[in-house]
DNA sequence: TTGTACGCGTTATCAC
DNA sequence: GTGATAACGCGTACAA
């Protein structure tokens, strides 16, 4: 019985074999010119490169990934893309990974551990060589998926005191405490805190503020505001209204991030509230605009570029199979005392 | 001679075959349970799904892509991630593509056609099923790569009057003209324009403004400012200084985008320049904060969510092999006349 | 330095 | 409804 006619399922695209045929060499030589040119003689290389250019060959990532067991991708999950903090962190990560041959698979979790889990599951099919996560509050299933993936993981933004996982970030509680200290030092006593989004980092900043306020004997629940809504300039306006309604004698507001503080600043201008004379305003994150508001905004800058760089560098160490010098890197923060306090 | 011992190159991860063995079925049944459950009997399906869960099986994207000639990915290239316009467009795209089973491979071109080309080349290795681009100003090589990829392409933000390619966006020149008309209608005559970044859309907006100003006999080169720098709030401050230096009698400024306008607004407050009494200020893009600035900013809103939705929808049509009703979709814009003019 | 044989994990195809 | 077999395009291992 004659063998069944092999049915071609070829994609019609230019393959390594096509390039090889064109250059009159074997496929593996083409592969080598791309992966480790040094192993191929200059003469062959030239012929092959010409063939690649003529045919417009683009290596097939799937085939390469399957054959080499390396995908050349790194999954990066951030809670938001509308926030300069994460965008700049992504940029810094890319600056480290791209030159070393890795591509980023970006996911936006929208501050939801459930969405994070779903995103991770989806991206895991790409067999990433490494994973970069924001925060430490993953779901149980996410932890299981991470463990099962076999890929090294680095957490960004927060630091894990236990050292159980690799992390690069800033101490959020310490930062919150520092701002509270700054306001007290400037003589403010009736200091409010506006917490929105209520993600773990927001809570930690608030905890730092509460602790210092309690220690100073100044903590009053009426000045401890919160809203689960996502942060925005408009929400800052709204929260200021709420603050003025429920604790009108407050002399300072510490907003859990800069967007909120910008809204507060705008609303103060609209109402003719003098900042910082009548009300001091502080933010968190040091967004680019915060250096230019009127008055210029006092805020806390976390080293987002540094975090991205260090996290990516740490991950490349782990992906190379090396044991990093430190598993936990606290990059600190900087209090930018400007005109609004 | 005995056959060479086959060297295992298995990745050690859970595969379709592992799940099949566990469930006591063939690999293809597992595959079908995942791809087209209807083809598998309920009994088998249950056993298989249990096995999948027990083993924590995650399908290998590379193998699937290789075998099926469909990658399930769509490349989306945007000029910036620091701009709410593109972030919101991305969100809208994802809302359409994700439920239909596609993943986004995001690239940030930083307004550079050369970076766009490099990014495209890198992502093309993933054999995307479709491609979403921002703008119409691609390099020759980019066009060649696109054509060679075989994937359908939709351009966003600008519209292609020739209909040569599929595009979804707003007429930038018309929008620029509309704002010029608005300012003239409000009685301003010494209207300046601040152009930064100088991407094609900025130039088109400026062209619209110039045309209307010339027609009104009000165009003066001294009020036509430009800077190649990337847009930022700080640059707005700087450009206002420049404007006041070279054309101090200007009675209105049209900024090519809202960041710039925010900077101008802040600097006006700092200098005590009354807006809009002494100087009217207008922006472009309607960033979320623009509704809350003091005074609230007059600007032009382009339907970024609609653009993302329609572009993604159009792309899905093309990816399905259908011929879309229209290849060019102009979603228009909306002039938000607020307090700053 | 260059080439041959084979396997990576999955789905298309065809047979039962 | 279920399964056996053969690709998909490339890199690893080994041979020459």
Q: pLDDT tens-digit profile of B87-132? A: 999 999 999 999 999 999 999 999 999 999 999 999 999 999 999 9
Asked if B144 has any chain A CB less than 8 Å from its own CB, the reply is: yes
Asked if B216 has any chain A CB less than 8 Å from its own CB, the reply is: no
pLDDT band per the 50, 70, 90 thresholds, residue A67: very high
All structural domains of chain B with their residue ranges = 16-59, 72-170+305-332, 172-301
Specify whether domain B172-301 bears CATH 3.40.50.2300. yes
Asked if A125 has any chain B CB less than 8 Å from its own CB, the reply is: yes
Mean pLDDT of B71-86: 97
CB contact under 8 A, A294 and B269: yes
Q: Tell me, what's the pLDDT at A4?
A: 42
pLDDT band per the 50, 70, 90 thresholds, residue B12: confident
Tokens of B90: 């991305």
Question: Does the C-beta of A63 come within 7 A of strand D?
Answer: yes
Cα gap B224→B317, rounded to integer Å = 43
Q: Give strand C nucleotides closer than 7 A to any protein Cβ.
A: 1-15
Mean pLDDT of A92-98: 97
State pLDDT tens for residues A304-329. 999 999 999 999 999 999 999 999 99
Buried b / exposed e over A161-174, threshold 16 CB at 10 Å, is eeeebbbbbbbbbe
Q: Tell me, what's the pLDDT at A58?
A: 95
Asked if B126 has any chain A CB less than 8 Å from its own CB, the reply is: yes
Chain A CA closest to residue B151: A13
State pLDDT tens for residues B213-226. 999 999 999 999 99
| Residue numbers 36-65 of B with CB closer than 7 A to any atom of strand D | 39-41, 43-44, 63
Buried b / exposed e over B244-266, threshold 16 CB at 10 Å, is beebeebbbbbbbbbbbbbbbbb
Strand partners, A255: A194
Question: Does the C-beta of A59 come within 7 A of strand D?
Answer: yes
A34 pLDDT exceeds 70? Answer: yes
Partners of residue B146 in chain A, C-beta under 8 Å = none
* d(CA A2, nearest CA chain B) in Å: 25
Residue A110 φ/ψ region, left for φ over 0, alpha for ψ in the -120 to 50 degree band, beta for the rest = left
Question: Does the C-beta of A68 come within 7 A of strand D?
Answer: yes
Dihedral (Cα; A18, A22, A24, A29), 10-degree rounding:
-50
Q: CA–C1' distance B159–C10 (Å)?
A: 40
A123 pLDDT exceeds 50? Answer: yes
Cα gap B240→B270, rounded to integer Å = 12
- Selected from 3.30.230.70, 3.30.70.3040, 3.40.190.10, 3.40.50.2300, the CATH number assigned to the domain covering B72-170+305-332 reads 3.40.50.2300
pLDDT band per the 50, 70, 90 thresholds, residue A268: very high
State pLDDT tens for residues B265-275. 999 999 999 99
Asked if B122 has any chain A CB less than 8 Å from its own CB, the reply is: yes
Asked if A160 has any chain B CB less than 8 Å from its own CB, the reply is: no
Asked if B125 has any chain A CB less than 8 Å from its own CB, the reply is: yes
Residues 224-263 of A with CB under 8 A from B: 232-234, 236-237, 259, 262-263
Question: Does the C-beta of A36 come within 7 A of strand D?
Answer: no
Q: Tell me, what's the pLDDT at A3?
A: 39
Task: Output the average pLDDT for chain B.
Answer: 95
Asked if A60 has any chain B CB less than 8 Å from its own CB, the reply is: yes
State pLDDT tens for residues A146-171. 999 999 999 999 999 898 999 999 99
Q: What is the pTM of this model?
A: 0.95
Partners of residue B63 in chain A, C-beta under 8 Å = 62, 66
B6 pLDDT exceeds 60? Answer: no
- Distance from first CA to last CA of chain B, Å, rounded? 90
| Residue numbers 312-341 of B with CB closer than 7 A to any atom of strand D | none
Q: Tell me, what's the pLDDT at B10?
A: 82
B15 pLDDT exceeds 60? Answer: yes
- Percent of chain A surpassing pLDDT 70: 98
Q: CA–C1' distance B6–C13 (Å)?
A: 27
Question: Does the C-beta of A339 come within 7 A of strand D?
Answer: no
**Beta-carbon neighbour count of residue B215 at 10 Å?**
13
Mean pLDDT of B187-206: 97
CB contact under 8 A, A289 and B144: no
Question: Does the C-beta of A27 come within 7 A of strand D?
Answer: yes
C-alpha dist (Å) from residue B21 to B33, B42, B52, B57: 15, 18, 11, 13
Cα gap A94→A315, rounded to integer Å = 12
Centroid of chain to Cα A92: 10
Q: Give strand D nucleotides closer than 7 A to any protein Cβ.
A: 1-14
CB contact under 8 A, A269 and B294: yes
Tokens of A309: 């760089």
Task: Output the average pLDDT for chain A.
Answer: 95
B5 pLDDT exceeds 60? Answer: no
A9 pLDDT exceeds 90? Answer: no
Q: Tell me, what's the pLDDT at A6?
A: 52
A117 pLDDT exceeds 90? Answer: yes
B7 pLDDT exceeds 90? Answer: no
Yes or no: say if B240 and B192 are a contact pair by the CB < 8 Å rule.
no
Q: CA–C1' distance B116–D6 (Å)?
A: 39
B4 pLDDT exceeds 50? Answer: no
Cα gap A271→A276, rounded to integer Å = 14
B333 pLDDT exceeds 60? Answer: yes
A1 pLDDT exceeds 70? Answer: no
Q: CA–C1' distance A59–C1 (Å)?
A: 23
Asked if A271 has any chain B CB less than 8 Å from its own CB, the reply is: no
DSSP string covering A138-178, please? --HHHHHHHHHH---EEEEES--TT-SSEEEE--HHHHHHH
Q: Tell me, what's the pLDDT at B84?
A: 96
- Helix B61-68 and helix A61-68, axial crossing angle in degrees, nearest 10: 130
A7 pLDDT exceeds 80? Answer: no
B70 pLDDT exceeds 60? Answer: yes
Range name among A121-125, B9-13, B179-183 with the lowest pLDDT average:
B9-13
Question: Does the C-beta of A144 come within 7 A of strand D?
Answer: no
pLDDT band per the 50, 70, 90 thresholds, residue B1: very low
Q: CA–C1' distance B7–D12 (Å)?
A: 10
Partners of residue A144 in chain B, C-beta under 8 Å = 56
Of A61, A237, A263, the CB nearest to B126: A61
State pLDDT tens for residues B259-311. 999 999 999 999 999 999 999 999 999 999 999 999 999 999 999 999 999 99
Question: Does the C-beta of A55 come within 7 A of strand D?
Answer: no
Tokens of A88: 């700049």
């Amino acid at each position: 019985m004659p063998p069944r006619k092999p049915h071609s399922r070829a994609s019609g695209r230019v393959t390594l074999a096509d390039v090889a045929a064109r250059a009159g060499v074997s496929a593996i030589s083409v592969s080598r010119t791309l992966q480790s040119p040094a192993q191929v003689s200059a003469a062959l290389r030239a012929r092959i490169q010409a063939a690649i250019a003529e045919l417009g060959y683009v290596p097939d990532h799937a085939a390469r990934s399957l054959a080499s067991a390396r995908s050349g991708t790194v999954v990066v999950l951030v809670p938001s893309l509308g926030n300069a903090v994460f965008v700049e962190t992504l940029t810094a990560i890319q600056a480290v990974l791209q030159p070393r041959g890795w591509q980023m698979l970006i996911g936006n979790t929208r501050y939801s551990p459930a969405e994070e889990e779903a995103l991770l599951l989806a991206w895991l099919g790409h067999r990433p060589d490494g994973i970069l996560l924001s925060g430490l509050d993953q779901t149980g299933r996410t932890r299981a998926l991470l463990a099962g993936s076999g890929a090294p993981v680095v957490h960004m933004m927060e630091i894990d005191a236990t050292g159980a996982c690799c992390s690069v970030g800033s101490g959020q509680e310490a930062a919150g405490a520092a701002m509270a200290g700054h306001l007290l030092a400037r003589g403010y006593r009736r200091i409010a805190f506006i917490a929105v989004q209520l993600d773990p980092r927001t809570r930690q900043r608030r905890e730092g503020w509460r602790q210092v306020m309690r220690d100073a004997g100044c903590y009053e629940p009426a000045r401890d505001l919160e809203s689960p809504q996502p942060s925005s300039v408009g929400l800052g306006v709204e929260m200021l209204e709420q603050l003025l309604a429920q604790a009108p004698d407050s002399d300072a507001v510490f907003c859990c991030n800069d967007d909120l503080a910008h809204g507060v600043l705008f609303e103060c201008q609209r109402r003719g509230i003098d900042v910082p004379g009548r009300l001091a305003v502080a933010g968190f994150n040091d967004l680019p605009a915060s250096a230019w508001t009127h008055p210029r905004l006092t805020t806390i800058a976390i080293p987002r570029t540094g975090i991205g760089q260090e996290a990516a560098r740490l991950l490349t160490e782990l992906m190379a199979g090396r044991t990093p010098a430190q598993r936990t890197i606290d990059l600190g923060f900087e209090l930018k005392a400007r005109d609004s306090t």
